[in-house]
Amino acid sequence: MLAAENLALVRGGKRVVEGLSAELRPGTITAIVGPNGAGKSSLLLGLAGLLAPSEGSVMLEGAALASLHPRGRAQAIGYLPQTPDIAWDVAVESLVALGRLPWRDRGTAAVEAALAALDLQPLRHRPVSQLSGGERARVLLARVLAGQPQWILADEPLAALDLAHQLALLAHLRGCAASGQGVVIVLHDLATAMNHADRVLVLKDGRLIADGPPQTALAPQVIAQGWGVDARWLGEAGAQALIAGRAAG
Amino acid sequence: MNRASLIFALLLAVLVPLSLLAGRVWINPFAADLAPNALLILAELRLPRAVLGIVIGAGLGAAGAAMQGYLRNPLADPGLFGIAPMAALGAVASFWLGAFVPPVLAAWSLPLMALTGAGLGMALLALIAGRTSSDAAGGAGGGIALFTLAGLMLASLAGALTALAITLAPNPFALSEIVLWLNGALTDRSWREVAIAAPLTAAGIAVLALAARSLDALTLGEEAARSLGLNPGRLLALLVVGVGLTVGAGVAVAGIIGFVGLVVPHLVRPLTDRLPSSLILPSALAGACLVLAADSIVRIMPLVTELRLGIALSLIGAPFFGWLLLRMRRGQL
C-alpha cells in the first residue's frame, strides 16, 4: 500500500498540493488527471519520495517514505520522469541496466527480462541517439522495470507517443499491474484514463476533487468542475470517447 | 579494467621509457658507455619529472571525466569549480608573503599556500553546496546549475584577485616569477614535488571513483537519479573533495595546466560504453599519457627557452575545443 495522508507539498515556494489523502493499492493502474498546474506532477514526485511533504506524510507499507533510506525507497518505487533526459549516447542495454543501481548488482536476469518485456532485445546494442521517440519511451520504461520495483510511478509516459505506441505501452503497464505491481500514471488525455485506469484521482488547484473508478471520477459534472468544460462520454465501456463542447456556463 | 584502461595503460608503458630518454641530452640506452652524468640526469631530473607528469595528468584526466559526468556536459572542465584559480591565488599570495615566511618553511611556502587556496575554495563550495542541497531537499531542480554558477563566481573572483596581485607586484622579479609560474610547467621539479602531489592526487582519484556509480545515475537527469537512490549532497561532497585534491595538488606543484581535463574524456569516451563510471580510470591513464607526451615534446623543441607546458597544452587544447564545438553543432556529441 502506498498512501498519502493529509499531504501538502510546496514547490518553488508555492503550495502545489493541499490536504490530500489517498490509499493506492498494488495490482491496479491509478491515473492522476487534472487541468494544467493542478499539481499532478508534484503529487507524483511526492508519492515517489522525491519531494518532501511540508505537511502530512506518504506511507509505504506502513512506514513513512521520508524515513526510508534513499536506496531502500528506490528499490521499492520506480519513477519515470516526463521528459526523456539522457545525457550520454549510451547503448540501450547499458541504459536499461541503470535500473539496477539501487540494488548495486548487475541483475542480468532482471535486465534481460525488462528488455524482453518491451521487445528491446534486437535494439540492445543501439545507441539511444538512434532510437525513435517510441523506442526511447520503451527503453526508459524498461529501465524502471529492470529495478523490479513494487511501484511504478510514471509522469505522462504517453506524451511523446503515437496512438499505436500509446496502446502498446498501456498494455505493458497493464501487464505490470496484473503481475502485482502498483502503477500510478499522470495522464493528460481523459479518454485514456477512462478506458485504461482502474481508479482516477482528479486534482484541481492542488486539491482532490474526485477519486474513484473512472466512470464516477470522470463524470461530466466533475469535468465541468475541474476543467470548466461541458463534455459527455460516447461509446461503450473500455472504448469511450470524450466529446467536449463549450466552456461550462 | 576495461578496454580503454588497457589501451592507455599500454600507451603509458611505451611513453615512460621514451620520455626518460628524450631531452636536450638524449640518452642512448644501448650505448656501450653511458655518459657519466646520464644516470644523474635520469634519477634526479627526468624520472621525478616523468612521475610528476603522470601524477598531474592522471589527476586532471580523472577530474575532467568526473566533472563532465556531474554537469552532464561534454564541455565541462575541472576549472569550472574555481578550485584551480583559488589554488593559483594561494600560490601568488606566497610570492607576496615570502618575506614573512620562516626560512625553514620557505621551500614549502608556495605549494602549501596553493593547497590552502584550494582548500579554501573547497570550503566555500561546500558552504554554497550546503545551501543549494538544502533547497533541493524537495525538488533538486537547478541545484547543479546554481552550484556551477557559484563555481564560476569563485573562479572569476580568484582570477581578479590574482590579476590584482600581479599588477601590484612588489618588484619586477616577483612579477616575472608569478607570470612564469602561472603558465604551468614541470621544469626543474624534484622528488619533493612528487611527494606533495602523488598522495593527494591518489586520494582524490580514489574519492572520485567512489562517486562513479552516482554519476552514472545522473545520466538520466537529476530527478530520475534521485529516484534511483542518489544522494545529491553526498555526490557533491565527493566531487568537491575529489576535484579539490587532484586539481589543488596539480596547481600546487606545477602551476595551471589547462585543457587536459576537458580534452581527455573525449579521447576516452568512444572506447567505452560512455557512462561516466567507465571513464574515470581510463581518463586518469590517458591524462597521464597526454601530460607526459606534451612535456617530453616541449623539452626537445629547439627553442632558446623551454616552452611552458601550460602554454603548449593550451595551444593544442584551444583548437581541439573549437573542433568539439563544431562536432556538437553537427549533433555528433
Residue B27 domain-assigned? no
Residue B30 domain-assigned? no
DSSP-assigned beta bridge partners for residue A3: A23, A59
User: Order of strands across the sheet with A182-186?
Assistant: A77-80, A151-155, A182-186, A29-33, A199-204, A207-212
B138, B219, B231 ranked by CB distance to A98: nearest: B219
Summarize pLDDT for B52-71 with one digit per residue, the tens: 999 999 999 999 999 999 98
The domain segmentation of chain A, as residue ranges, is 2-247
DSSP B221: -
User: What's at B152, amino acid-wise?
Assistant: L
Length of chain B counted residue by residue:
333
Interface residue A105 vs chain B (CB under 8 A)? no
Q: Which residues of A touch B268 (CB under 8 A)?
A: none
CB contact at 8 A, B185 and B308: yes
Cβ contact B217–A95 (<8 Å): no
Residue B234 domain-assigned? yes
Q: A20 pLDDT exceeds 80?
A: yes
Interface residue B233 vs chain A (CB under 8 A)? no
Nearest CA in chain B to A70: B229
Domain count, chain B: 1
Residue B111 domain-assigned? yes
Interface residue B102 vs chain A (CB under 8 A)? no
Name the residue among B290, B216, B209, B207 with its Cα closest to residue B242.
B207
CATH code for the domain defined by A2-247: 3.40.50.300
Cα(A195)–Cα(A211) distance, integer angstroms: 16
Residue B33 domain-assigned? no
Size of interface A-B (CB pairs under 8 A): 83
Residue B211 domain-assigned? yes
Cell of B227: 529516484
Residue B26 domain-assigned? no
B138, B227, B274 ranked by CB distance to A88: nearest: B274
pLDDT averaged over chain A?
Answer: 93
Summarize pLDDT for B156-207 with one digit per residue, the tens: 999 999 999 888 887 888 788 888 888 888 888 889 999 999 999 999 999 9
Assembly ipTM = 0.91
CATH of the domain at B198: 1.10.3470.10
DSSP B33: S
Name the residue among B13, B14, B35 with its Cα closest to residue B24.
B35
Tens place of pLDDT per residue across chain B (333 aa): 789 999 999 999 999 999 998 887 788 877 767 777 888 888 888 999 999 999 999 999 999 999 999 988 888 888 777 888 999 999 888 887 777 777 777 778 888 889 899 889 888 887 776 665 544 443 344 567 777 788 888 999 999 999 998 888 878 887 888 888 888 888 888 899 999 999 999 999 999 999 999 999 999 988 899 999 999 888 988 988 999 999 999 999 999 898 899 999 998 998 999 999 999 999 999 999 999 999 998 888 887 777 888 888 888 888 887 887 788 777 665
Cβ contact A85–B220 (<8 Å): yes
User: What's at B214, amino acid-wise?
Assistant: S
- Mutating which of B134, B220, B274, B277 best tests the A interface, going by the most A Cβ atoms within 10 A? B220
Residue B170: domain span: 3-19+38-329
Nearest CA in chain A to B136: A51
Cell of B215: 554519476
Residue B180 domain-assigned? yes
Cβ contact B219–A81 (<8 Å): no
Work out the minimum CA distance from B285 to partner chain A, whole angstroms. Answer: 21
Cell of B234: 553526498
